[in-house]
Structure 1
């Protein structure tokens, strides 16, 4: 595994190139280009605001602010999962011709989506300013939460990119899995209020509370909107599990990359 990581470090220029080309490819044929990185979260907020507030008559005070944080964080999660899962298949023609550490491809797609998320943070800052909610000293937790989420995305991306090569149906299945996590997380609904109600069985409440997506989304809202510390124990658990999975997957890649060539 040590040799494998050294090989990855030697190919860091390729990693930078993959990230750069991925950023260019996202809106290559778009008239608005990179402006979509700002416009997309804004349009998402408008759609769900119309659905929840106008149509269903729900949503409390500062609901658009609550909504934009959840949607921006979710967009980062979903795009990272979907893009990294297809990363090796996307570059199969290159992989079959030249030896490269295959783990570089899901890593590059994950880093690409991190860059996109930075534009989402700009949108969140805009909403905070509009609603007069200024973050206090709890903002110091923001880099920690982002770092933990990056580790989680990298680990999950490495896992999904590898398994998708051998089980192509995973790509289609992810559409439904991510949809379940979207509605099982407090992205468009207020988690604390719903969990206090009697509409959800106790067993299901426990699953929702242990949902890593819910933990991450709530952590951002805790420090940006509610001015309180996030659930550090839950974040630490996500970090340890993600780190263990990431290290295991790098080891697995180093021992089984020949299988990828055969499957492609």
Structure 2
């Protein structure tokens, strides 16, 4: 496994190229080009704000729902896009894989990092909403890089796993479309987690043991509510994710020949 990691590090130029080309390909033929990195999360917020507040009549009483919504949607956009793109990464570059000998784990890794770049632009949208609504984050904002690191490691673990499985079980791609949709509604993206505690079905555990809920709420804690994040929950996510990454890299190093045979 050590030699495999060294091989990935040797290919850092290729990793950089894959990240750069992936970002360019997203809006290559659009008129607005890279401006979509800002406009896309903004429009996403507008759509859900109209749906929840205007159509469904949710009152903006307990806290500023617009800010609550934008933080959740920007974080979710990073998570969902990373899972979706990383899971198809090896298949997407199958033509290159069949011609050149290189570590296959580099492909899901490149898509995970490219979506991190998109998230940084999403943070600009979050900052605008915070400023417009008069919300100034407190000292707790120093934990933002920590939460981003946990999110990145979490997404790397999922990306490595799904990218490998998807090579052998092509139905995973179709299944993940529905799984991502379920995760969206099972996480406090457009609703606050406390609502499940007040439901008739006692579904509070959906938030308590949901890593996406812990991550999204942590962003809101430091940016909006001036409180420290759930360090225990973040630590558990980080340790489990790091364990999965180590296991998957070890698995990649021993079974990459199987990928080539299938492709």
TM-score, normalising length: structure 1 = 0.97
SS of the counterpart of 1:245?
helix
* CA deviation string 1:54-111 (max 9, x = no partner): 1111142411111000000000000000000000000000000110100000000000
| Partner residue in 1 for 2:174 | 172
After TM superposition, the structure 1 = structure 2 runs for residues 81-230 of structure 1, keeping only pairs within 5 Å, are 81-192=83-194, 194-199=195-200, 201-202=201-202, 204-230=203-229
How far apart in 2 are the matches of 1:56 and 1:191?
18
> Gapped runs of 5+ residues in structure 1?
none
| Partner residue in 1 for 2:71 | 69
State the 1:208 CA deviation: 2.6
Count of residue correspondences:
261
| Partner residue in 1 for 2:22 | 22
State the 1:198 CA deviation: 3.0
> Gapped runs of 5+ residues in structure 2?
none
* Root mean square deviation of aligned Cα: 0.8
State the 1:191 CA deviation: 1.3
**Contact 2:90/2:108 (<8 A) preserved:** yes
State the 1:209 CA deviation: 1.7
**Contact 1:52/1:59 (<8 A) preserved:** no
* CA deviation string 1:201-231 (max 9, x = no partner): 22x3213321111111100000000000011
| Partner residue in 2 for 1:9 | 9
State the 1:190 CA deviation: 1.4
SS of the counterpart of 2:204?
helix
**Contact 1:27/1:34 (<8 A) preserved:** yes
* CA deviation string 1:118-168 (max 9, x = no partner): 000000000000000000100011000000000011111000000000000
TM-score, normalising length: structure 2 = 0.98
